[in-house]
Amino acid sequence: MRYSLQLLLLMLSIMLAGCSAISISANQNVKSDTWYAVDGYVDGDTFKITVGDTSNTIRMLYIDTPEIKKGNTPVQKYGPEASAFTEKLLKESGEVKLTFDKEIKDRYDRTLAIVELKDGRILNELLLQEGLAKVLIVEPNVKMENVYKQLEQTAKQNKIGLWSSGKETSQAEISVHKTHHMGLVIDVDKRGELVTITNTTSATIDMEGWKLISVRGNQTYTFPEVELPANSKLLVSSGDSHVKDANAILLIWEVDNVWSNNEPDPAELYNENNELVALWEDE
């Protein structure tokens, strides 16, 4: 009887110890809106923070910087510059605050995050603005895709960093080469909150599931079940007064003030496979 009681107490102690370990582990999960001390640097888009008494690797969301070390791969152009830029800003900040998208961990168990510095700036965005990173979107983390593509586009136009030679290719350009439907033309009346999409081809286009995106405003309209006949127009209205055109299909975007009148706000049209098929450049 005494032996059975001792065994029971031993098992209970082990269970309690296990629960305690689980509790400690849970408390060390990375949280948003919390400042964490930076404790190591890997490369331009990866670094380490202290969480409790452990080190956690952070991989910045939506961007990819040139490699400085990856197996036998040689150092890539602007890799050292991106790494030095990230290390400098992280050292100056000392601590960072993290924001997440849908998927928090990648297959390497790194935490995927938007990184805010002590001065309020976003490190991910700064790397794009300096031409030291390209946009990298991995589903399901797509929340800030449009904003980051616009930052990349601005760096390209200014020929900064990676884009200084004019020979680099962005993900957006790669998507264009996969386009299934050419001959679609977009025009945006920003003040009137009206988008006109013209099908200049001789074929009817099924647009169900397509997406119209305000890049600057980071807003997306998903098309319902609709077909755009050959040589016809489709209107997407987000204004207070909806235009009536007997010769065009009219769709209502139930959002106010989609298009920015104070800043360039390109429009992008994606098909059901998330391939860019038309672009309106607000220059």
216 is catalytic: no
Per the residue annotation, which of 95, 110, 272, 275 is the catalytic one?
110
Q: 86-89: long-range contacts at Cβ-Cβ below 8 A with a sequence spacing of 24 or more? A: 86/41, 86/43, 86/44, 86/45, 86/47, 86/123, 86/127, 87/41, 87/47, 89/117, 89/123, 89/126
Q: How far apart are CA 69 and CA 81, in angstroms?
A: 13
**Catalytic residue list contains 121:** no
Q: How far apart are CA 108 and CA 70, in angstroms?
A: 14
Q: What dihedral do alpha carbons 18, 24, 30, 35 form, nearest 10°?
A: 180
CA distance 187 to 280: 6
Task: Decide if 110 is catalytic.
Answer: yes
Cα–Cα distances in angstroms (integers) from residue 258 to residues 172, 222, 226, 261, in the given order? 22, 14, 21, 10
* Two tokens, residue 98: 């993290």
Closest CA to 112 of 161, 152, 61: 61
How many other CB atoms are found less than 10 A from the CB of residue 199? 21
Cβ–Cβ < 8 Å for 133, 45? yes
d(CA 210, CA 234): 13
Reference 271, options 170, 179, 201, 173; nearest CA is 179
- Answer yes or no: are the C-beta atoms of 3 and 9 closer than 8 Å: no
Q: What are the strands, taking DSSP E only, across 7-104?
A: 35-43, 46-51, 54-60, 63-64, 95-99
Active site residues: 59, 67, 110
